[in-house]
Amino acid sequence: MLRFVASLFVCLTLALPAFAQQADAPIQQLLQSQSDLILESSRRTIAPAIDALANSGLPEAQVVMDKWQAREMWVNEETGLFVYAEEVDRDTLRIFDFADGSEIGTVPDDGFDQLKPNSGIRGMIGTALVQFQLSDPNRATRQRALDAIERGAEESHLAALRASIPTEEDATILARKQRLERLLTIAYGETDAERIAAIESFAGDLSVDVRAALNPLVATRVEAAETLPDADDIGRVLKPGSEALTRDDAYALLVRADLAKPRISREDQRNALIANIDNGSVAGIQVATLDSQAARDMAYAALADQGTVSAVATEAEVDDRLANHVFYERYIGAPPEVVAAAQLALRAIENKVALNQAFDLGLDALSLASIYFLAAIGLAITFGVMGVINMAHGEFIMMGAYTGYVVQLFIPDYTLSILVAIPLAFAVTFGAGVAMERLVIRWLYHRPLETLLATFGISIALQQIAKNIFGTQARPLTAPGWLDGSLVINDIVSISFIRIAIFVLALLFLALFLFVMNRTRLGLEVRAVTQNPRMAASMGINPDKINMLTFGFGSGIAGIAGVAIGLYAKVTSEMGSDYIVQSFMTVVVGGVGNIWGTLLGATMVGSLQKGIEFLNPSNTLAAQTYMILFIILFIQFRPKGIIALKGRAAEA
């Protein structure tokens, strides 16, 4: 014990000269001048102390605020000097000098108080630290400082940003600093000219932060007067009863401005009259005569004249006050010249936003059209070419999606699993289509009603089989990592990589279909059987075999479409029913039996649906209904679709 006390005495003895030297340091003198505020540690009073440190120009100020924020600053109870320290153990501190960072010594913590700023004070210190961090040699520190400014910009940050720009060597950070400097100039610039110049520099910029900086400049306050003031900061004139200013709000404004008497509700007026009935009359007016609002107003006014109740405005007085006052908006966010520049910039931005929203809507429509085209291309073969109404087409899409899911259970590499799933889904659904054609469809050619009922029954059966195997919960078909995220063009226009991939896949299938139909023997025989089955048979073509292969080919394409759609939509037993109606609409609108018509039909159906959803975003069911009604109307004028077949196939 004596040895421990002796060692502490030696440490303190050696530390005394260091303490004496520390007291003479400029940073310590500054801390002593703000000691009362620092020790009080109140968020309401601490700001001058933080500002004194931040604006001192002393290089040690950053260290002080860093340690203070981290709760590593201590004060000597006896001398009142500030140090920063690290805890050696529960009772011992290793203390350091703020002036040069040198170690003073190891001392017991009994003679020191730890400063523990609350979260509010730490936030204020963090804001003040930004000016030091903007020029920190560490790139990440400078990035964090810019992040802090973006989250909560203050007027003091503008000068700090401007001071740090000339020494910034990183091109990316420099561009970010310059942009932030212009944004802060809009709000805190010293002169109107520099604020206007900063506003004009953002002409046509679609970023949200620009609009966030401009909108406060055009803020208004509704005021009322007997005549419209002749001032530059007056905006539009408002009419009471309009959407911008209701009649009640207008009169309430007059009351708050002491330009009119307060109103009273009819219920309160009625209760006041009842409370003042005396011998069958109110203020000398017989109760029996109070059968109109005008009479009740007169009785209440008589009570007010007697001092029994407070004077209020009648409806006639309300109308008179509103008619004899003008209501207008006064700009309160900035001087008139700055407001005019901000309004001009906002109008330009709004016009550009509208154009970009239209472009974004077009991308969404194109993306949806590619999905419908993928879903309908197989149906264009089975229905458009063969004339078979296959209500189970959606279930082939579902089978393809589940095939992709099963493949991913065995192949965890998502890229490889998709590459395997696409041909496997084609094989599975091709086989299912051939089996369906051999067992059911071949017996029902030229009997559309029976074909529709039979395929509808098969559709229900396939859905139930899928439920029995995979359950009712949605199953994941995960896209490869390189399809994550979106292609962001600006703050308004973006499109996911999965949708881009589906669009590319739709183009590939269009090319595949055209190649098969125009460059292969199968395509030649399909076209021959489609145009004239008897003539094709006389030329040695087996129509029965061609019908089987055609139906299988269309079903196989539906399976591949299922893999693509499964990456974007949920994989369930009912997913096919989500696309069967749109697939039929796509084929019918485009023109039965024409692949280019199917492409145009998908574009039309996708664009129409997205357009209706944009106009009525809260009701997708209504969008579907309006779309079907429009297509019914369209078919009345073009019953054969956008591109009608010509020749014998059209006459069949």
Q: What is the pLDDT of residues 317-337, one digit of tens each?
A: 888 888 999 999 999 988 989
Cα separation, 9 vs 114, in Å, equals 22
pLDDT of residue 2: 40
pLDDT of residue 464: 92
Strands 486-488 and 326-331: unpaired
Most confident of 145-154, 187-196, 308-317: 187-196
pLDDT of residue 618: 64
The residues near 562 (Cβ < 8 Å, ≥ 6 apart) are: 396, 397, 398, 399, 400, 401, 402, 403, 404, 425, 429, 575
Output the CA–CA distances (angstroms, integers) from residue 30 to 65, 68, 133, 425, in the order listed: 13, 15, 21, 76
Asked if the model's pLDDT at residue 383 lies above 50, the reply is yes
Cα separation, 169 vs 10, in Å, equals 50
pLDDT of residue 550: 85
Asked if the model's pLDDT at residue 399 lies above 70, the reply is yes
Tell me the residue ranges of DSSP E strands in 226-374. Answer: 234-238, 281-282, 285-286, 326-331
Instruction: Enumerate the β-bridge partners of residue 105.
Output: 95
Backbone angles phi, psi at 233, to 5 degrees: -95, 15
Between 304 and 162, the more confident residue is: 162
| Mean pLDDT along residues 419-445 | 91
**5 confidence band (pLDDT: 50, 70, 90):** very low
Backbone angles phi, psi at 623, to 5 degrees: -60, -45
Most confident of 53-67, 246-260, 287-301: 246-260
Q: What is the CATH number of domain 354-651?
A: 1.10.3470
pLDDT of residue 452: 86
| Mean pLDDT along residues 549-568 | 87
> What's the chain's Rg over C-alpha atoms?
40
**446 confidence band (pLDDT: 50, 70, 90):** confident
| Mean pLDDT along residues 96-124 | 85
Asked if the model's pLDDT at residue 602 lies above 50, the reply is yes
The residues near 505 (Cβ < 8 Å, ≥ 6 apart) are: 370, 374, 564
The residues near 353 (Cβ < 8 Å, ≥ 6 apart) are: 206, 492
Q: Tell me the average pLDDT of the chain.
A: 83
**313 confidence band (pLDDT: 50, 70, 90):** confident
Work out the percent of the chain whose per-residue pLDDT is above 70: 93
Work out the percent of the chain whose per-residue pLDDT is above 90: 15
Strands 220-225 and 326-331: antiparallel
How many Cβ atoms are within 10 Å of 273's Cβ, its own excluded? Answer: 19
The pTM of the full predicted model, rounded to 2 decimals, is 0.66
| Mean pLDDT along residues 4-27 | 53
Q: How far is CA 201 from the centre of its chain?
A: 26
pLDDT of residue 416: 92
* Domain ranges, ordered by start, for the chain: 2-124, 134-218, 220-263+313-332, 265-311, 354-651
**384 confidence band (pLDDT: 50, 70, 90):** low
Unique residue bearing structure tokens 């089955």:
533
Cα separation, 149 vs 152, in Å, equals 5
pLDDT of residue 483: 83
Q: For the chain, percent helix, then strand, then coil, each to nearest 5?
A: 65, 10, 25
pLDDT of residue 385: 65
Cα separation, 274 vs 405, in Å, equals 77
pLDDT of residue 403: 93
**205 confidence band (pLDDT: 50, 70, 90):** confident
